[in-house]
């Protein structure tokens, strides 16, 4: 195939700029070729775009990639990861900040690039922020970076409203995103764009690579909408750049973004994928496969590059980055450091709070507002007790904030007096995400990446609607807190479409995610204490719609056992049980009532509350044995959900009392009886398990 006739002519540019752009392109080609895996076309096409952003606009200090007021650059089209790795290497980004021991080490060395997509390289197939400095967020699943960027832009606005004062601007960073056709096809990007447009996030710029190619072929196969008109309808400013190689046009579009005060900006850039490659340019083949030696030689010839040079970095290129991005970023960073020092003198009332935030430390006495709930046979729905705890934490942690996907009255996440975050003002801490579960969760990931402690809420059955973002919370170690209510058939009349039978198993299967299903109000309080103390681990807190008795802790085990994931709630006489009954959430009371029935017939039962499987697994073997002794094989687990996974705790002789089908519509008490989730059923299962052990 010959070079496409539509390939744009190169506009005038400095020789040094052109050399830098072509270095990015050739590094990307060589790395993909060495790995025999990857996507060379998009890095080749977008090299001029990314270079222009970094050289002329991005406020970033390579010596401190974690500087809180840096501009953010997000590569949402994560398959183009070599574009980002090339930039990080050429810009000289360091592994850590100025005070870190390894600050002199490059975040991405040339040797690491040579091992692109290999097991021991920091240059993974798709960018992972926890692995490599200079990467703002983990991208790969398309649309997620777009969603994260909205959270980053939100964080900048909230931090500015909270801490900036006349003469002291501490937070005013912008967020730039490179996104693709694939990103904009994904629903999460549409949800995120709608949120950003509604909020008027003028500090957010998406640069859309309109190259008309996806993996299956040309986009007209499935994507023929007018993107500009869609985004105009969402409240965005639109800029057009007809040629990705036209630096002047890109600069003009980005200056318009910087001048915009009311709307986020979408810059639509036309590019030719694999620009410069003689055969595969413009084809979907250049998108997802190495070019091959012949294609690379042709591309390098088009760039005027030595044909036999591999991983070539002319020394002038890093120096060019240092004199532009580096010098600008260093000056901005030093000015910011002075502003923080001056701020501490002028605003002592906020200086301590700001230091806690910047250091990632919870304020002193942060949890003193968490209530201790008195024993109450009637009790509270755990969603209600959680709401009271959220209010208590909000009083002690200023950057603890969040909201619901249009369900705040049901999820109890609204904090009175905390104000609303919205286009009329960015100081509020109550967020109204609208019915956009996926966009909500992705934005919360971006807020977490910016140092905030966000929570988001919906009904547990809608876990599927936000699961991709939740998975990335866990993969990236982001402390987003998911408040998921209406946790079982106990929600009643809404019926099986809203009864999350399988979702506990779904959530528990995610590595790095803590899942809590607390059994009463004080377990709720303890779960929140644990979650807040672990900012690098996301959590799901699963809560009931119906009331749960608040247990008398003078009679039962202390709720502080929640911090260990599971504990003995009620022991058998002498600590020698015949059987063990294990419950979570609202079914803890079912187990307690069953134990009383068994005791009346001479069977000694221990009741264990197991609100968090993952935390219990983290405990030492001796503790786990003290709660679930191996010698006691007669066990029953009770949970108003499917039994998938419970065999780990009950063994081959154990029994499970719970759901084996979808639910039904009806009052909660009738449903529990209909599906056999009763004390009588648990007691009978215990007798059967005892019989199985004979």
DSSP string, 619-687: S-HHHHHHHS-TT---EEEEEEEE-TTTHHHHTTT-EEEEESS---SS-HHHHHHHTT-SHHHHHHHHH
Q: Do the Cβ atoms of 496 and 663 come closer than 8 Å?
A: yes
Q: How far apart are the first and last CA of the chain?
A: 76
DSSP string, 497-542: TS--SSHHHHHHTSTT-EEE--SSHHHHHHHHHHHHT-TTS-EEEE
* CA dist., res. 472 & res. 574, Å (int): 46
Q: Do the Cβ atoms of 209 and 245 come closer than 8 Å?
A: no
The token pair at 237 is: 């400013």
Backbone torsions φ then ψ of 635, nearest 5 degrees: -140, 150
299-308 as b/e: b if 16+ CB within 10 A: bbebbebeee
Q: Which of 251, 240, 257 is nearest to 55 (CA)?
A: 251
* CA dist., res. 286 & res. 214, Å (int): 10
Helix, coil or strand: residue 343: helix
Q: Do the Cβ atoms of 454 and 448 come closer than 8 Å?
A: yes
Q: Do the Cβ atoms of 274 and 283 come closer than 8 Å?
A: yes
DSSP string, 421-470: -BTTBS---EEE--S-HHHHHHHHHHHHHTT-EEEEEEEGGGHHHHHHHH
Q: Which of 454, 549, 555, 543 is nearest to 507 (CA)?
A: 543
Angle at 310 between CA 321 and CA 287, to 5 degrees: 80
DSSP string, 377-410: EEEEEHHHHHHHHHHHHHHH-TTEEEEESS-HHH
Torsion angle defined by CA atoms of residues 235, 241, 242 and 247, in that order, rounded to the nearest 10 degrees: -170
Q: What is the DSSP pairing of strand 635-642 with strand 655-659? A: parallel
Residue 223 class from Cβ within 10 Å (0-12 exposed, 13-18 middle, 19+ buried)? middle
Backbone torsions φ then ψ of 51, nearest 5 degrees: -60, -40
The total of other beta-carbon atoms located within 10 Å of residue 537's CB is 18
**Cα 339 from chain centroid (whole Å):** 31
Active-site residue numbers?
437
Within 13 Å and on the Cβ side, how many CA atoms surround 588?
28
Q: Do the Cβ atoms of 565 and 608 come closer than 8 Å?
A: no
The CA distances from residue 210 to 28, 486, 548, 636, in Å, are: 20, 42, 54, 58
* CA dist., res. 614 & res. 346, Å (int): 46
The token pair at 681 is: 């059923």
């Amino acid at each position: 195939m010959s070079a496409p006739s539509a390939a744009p002519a190169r506009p005038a540019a400095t020789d040094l700029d052109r050399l830098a752009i072509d270095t990015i392109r050739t590094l990307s080609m060589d790395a993909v070729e060495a790995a025999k895996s990857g996507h060379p076309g998009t890095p080749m096409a977008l090299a001029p775009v990314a270079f222009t952003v970094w050289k002329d606009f991005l406020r970033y200090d390579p010596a401190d990639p974690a500087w809180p007021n840096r501009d953010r650059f997000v590569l949402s089209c994560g398959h183009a990861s070599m574009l980002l790795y090339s930039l990080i290497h050429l810009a000289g980004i360091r592994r850590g900040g100025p005070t870190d021991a390894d600050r002199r080490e490059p975040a991405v060395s040339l040797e690491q690039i040579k091992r692109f997509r290999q097991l021991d390289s920091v240059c993974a197939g798709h960018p992972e922020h926890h692995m490599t400095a200079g990467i703002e967020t983990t991208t790969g699943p398309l649309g997620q970076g777009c969603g994260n960027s909205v959270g980053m832009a939100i964080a900048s606005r909230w931090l500015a409203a909270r801490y900036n004062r006349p003469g002291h601007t501490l937070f005013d960073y912008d967020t730039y995103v490179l996104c693709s056709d694939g990103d904009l096809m994904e629903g999460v990007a549409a949800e995120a764009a709608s949120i950003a447009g509604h909020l008027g996030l003028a500090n957010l710029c998406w640069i859309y690579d309109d190259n008309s190619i996806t993996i299956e072929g040309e986009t007209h196969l499935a994507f023929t909408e007018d993107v500009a008109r869609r985004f105009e309808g969402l409240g965005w400013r639109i800029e057009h750049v007809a040629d990705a190689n036209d630096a002047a046009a890109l600069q003009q579009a980005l200056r318009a973004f910087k001048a915009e005060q009311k709307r986020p900006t979408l810059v639509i850039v036309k590019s030719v994928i694999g620009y410069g490659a003689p055969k595969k340019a413009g084809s979907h083949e250049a998108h997802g496969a190495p070019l091959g030696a012949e294609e690379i030689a042709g591309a390098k010839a088009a760039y005027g590059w030595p044909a036999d040079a591999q991983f070539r970095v002319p020394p002038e290129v890093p120096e060019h980055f240092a004199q532009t991005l580096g010098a600008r970023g260093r000056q901005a960073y030093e000015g910011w450091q002075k502003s923080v020092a001056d701020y501490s003198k002028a605003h002592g009332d906020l200086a301590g709070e700001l230091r806690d935030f910047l250091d990632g430390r919870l304020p002193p006495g942060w949890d003193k507002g968490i209530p201790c709930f008195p024993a109450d046979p009637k009790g509270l729905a755990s969603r209600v007790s959680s709401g009271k705890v959220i209010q208590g934490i909000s009083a002690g942690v200023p950057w603890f904030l969040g909201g619901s996907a249009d369900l705040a009255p049901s999820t109890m996440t609204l904090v009175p007096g905390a104000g609303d975050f919205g286009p009329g003002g960015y100081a509020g801490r109550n967020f109204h995400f609208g019915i956009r579960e996926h966009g909500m969760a992705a934005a919360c990931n971006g807020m977490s990446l910016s140092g905030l402690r966000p929570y988001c809420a919906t009904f547990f059955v809608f876990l599927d609607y936000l699961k991709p973002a939740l998975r990335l919370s866990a993969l990236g170690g982001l402390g987003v807190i998911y408040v998921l209510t209406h946790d079982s058939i106990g929600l009643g009349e809404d019926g099986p479409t809203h009864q999350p039978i399988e979702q506990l198993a779904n959530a528990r299967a995610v590595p790095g995610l803590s899942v809590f299903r607390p059994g009463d109000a004080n377990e709720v309080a303890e779960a929140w204490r644990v979650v807040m103390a672990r900012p690098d681990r996301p959590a799901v807190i699963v809560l009931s719609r119906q009331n749960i008795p608040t247990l008398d802790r003078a009679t039962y085990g202390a709720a502080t056992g929640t911090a260990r994931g599971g504990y003995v709630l009620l022991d058998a006489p002498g600590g020698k049980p015949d059987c063990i009954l294990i419950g979570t959430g609202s079914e803890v009371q079912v187990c307690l009532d069953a134990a009383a029935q068994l005791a009346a017939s001479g069977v000694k039962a221990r009741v264990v509350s197991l609100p968090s499987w993952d935390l219990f697994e983290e405990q030492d073997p001796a503790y786990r044995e003290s709660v679930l002794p191996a010698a006691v094989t007669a066990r029953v687990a009770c949970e108003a959900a499917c039994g998938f996974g419970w065999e780990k705790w009950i063994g081959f002789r154990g029994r499970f009392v719970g759901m084996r089908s979808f639910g039904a519509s009806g009052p909660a008490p009738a449903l529990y009886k209909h599906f056999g989730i009763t004390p009588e059923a648990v007691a009978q299962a215990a007798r059967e398990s005892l019989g199985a052990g004979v």
